[in-house]
Amino acid sequence: MIPESFIADRPTSLRRRPGYGVIARYRDWLPVSESDPVISLGEGSTPLVAAEKLSEILHCETWIKVEGANPTGSFKDRGMTVALSVAAGQAVQAVVCASTGNTSASAAAYAAKAGLSTIVLLPAGRIATGKLAQAIVHGAKVVQIDANFDDCLELARKLAHEYPVALVNSVNPNRIEGQKTAAFEVIDELGDAPEVHVVPVGNAGNISAYWRGYTQYMSAGKATRTPRMWGFQADGAAPLVLGHPVLQPETVATAIRIGNPASAEQALAARDESGGLIEAVSDQQILDAQAFLAREEGIFVEPASAAGVAGLLAKQQRGEIESGLKIAVTVTGHGLKDIDAALSRLGPIHAEVVTADLLAVATVCGLLD
């Protein structure tokens, strides 16, 4: 029989130092204090996959950081473990976020783990079904707002200012701190920084987080260089490319349908300090890149996540990529979150139904020819 004292102690002692997750792996680099409970679902340590087909096309050594392999299916979990651990340490009761879907899914899961309640503000009708399901299933209070993401973020900020709820959008610095660990992992795995790191850009927190991770690791002597940061937005939601906010952002990549990025300044600094760039790709290029990743590299991502690869392929076609570069590209979220977008280009699902007969199956599979 398990002694009662053990049961009573267990949650606290288990939360002090779990052996998994980004806080366990990179605690010295993160603003989590000894007294904070660690709220982790085992995020981070995601695959860095050698992208053979993409490398062939680009004439570059190309690696894909598969962030859809995180517990809730996106890179948001890296920041959320830190934000929720700190919030739980401060005895916060509830958290709030605005989201295009992934932040809300992650916040809802980590708050559930922490025993806190979550409020999520979402642009009505513009959230992929899988992400909406995640927030609801994890028990968040889901409020759809008849407005876009930028308006939702404004409301979330005000809610956190006026009421006793903690904001866990990436304007919360603990989120960026957690997300920078992806850059640490790339260096730890490759032995040095790549020459170029490519990411999709929406609210612009992640490109800023990678840049922080790369610069911190280099300052500590863990890398000999920092990469050029290349960010890609969607044509219809490209405020950082245009140089001004977009009032009515529009793109099939709903995760990055953002017209006024909260971390615009930091993202532009990351671009300039790294000698990088932020460009835009069309919805068609995004969907083509999504299909390429699925069919050629075996990686199923949601549309926004394919923006970086779309950008690389577009630049290659224009002759703008020098051969022989070492490139890392982050794909940010799992394709299963938004199957409507993935299937929309294919039309109705076409899978034949045949009798349970070997010859019938072999025939429809074309094996008799």
Determine the straight-line distance between the first and last CA of the chain, rounded to whole angstroms: 64
Q: Choose between 194 and 202: whose C-beta lies nearer to ligand F0G.
A: 202
Q: Choose between 36 and 183: whose C-beta lies nearer to ligand F0G.
A: 183
- φ, ψ for residue 65, nearest 5 deg: -90, 110
Beta bridge partner(s), residue 145 = 123
Nearest approach in angstroms of CB 237 to ligand F0G is: 10
Q: Residue numbers of the site for ligand F0G (CB under 6 A)?
A: 74, 76, 99-103, 170, 200-206, 255-256, 302, 304-305, 332-333
Nearest approach in angstroms of CB 275 to ligand F0G is: 20
Closest CA to 209 of 161, 263, 247, 167: 263
67 touches 75 (CB < 8 A): yes
Nearest approach in angstroms of CB 127 to ligand F0G is: 9
Query: For helices 102-114 and 76-89, what crossing angle results, to 10°?
Result: 40
Nearest approach in angstroms of CB 363 to ligand F0G is: 41
Nearest approach in angstroms of CB 215 to ligand F0G is: 17
Q: Choose between 37 and 254: whose C-beta lies nearer to ligand F0G.
A: 254
Alpha helices in the chain (DSSP H): 4-16, 22-26, 52-58, 76-89, 102-114, 129-137, 149-162, 173-179, 181-190, 205-219, 239-242, 264-274, 283-292, 307-317, 339-344, 358-364
Q: Choose between 88 and 121: whose C-beta lies nearer to ligand F0G.
A: 121
* DSSP 8-state secondary structure symbol assigned to residue 227: P
Written as six digits, the tokens of 341 are 């977008």
Nearest approach in angstroms of CB 104 to ligand F0G is: 7
Q: Choose between 36 and 77: whose C-beta lies nearer to ligand F0G.
A: 77
Q: Choose between 204 and 327: whose C-beta lies nearer to ligand F0G.
A: 204
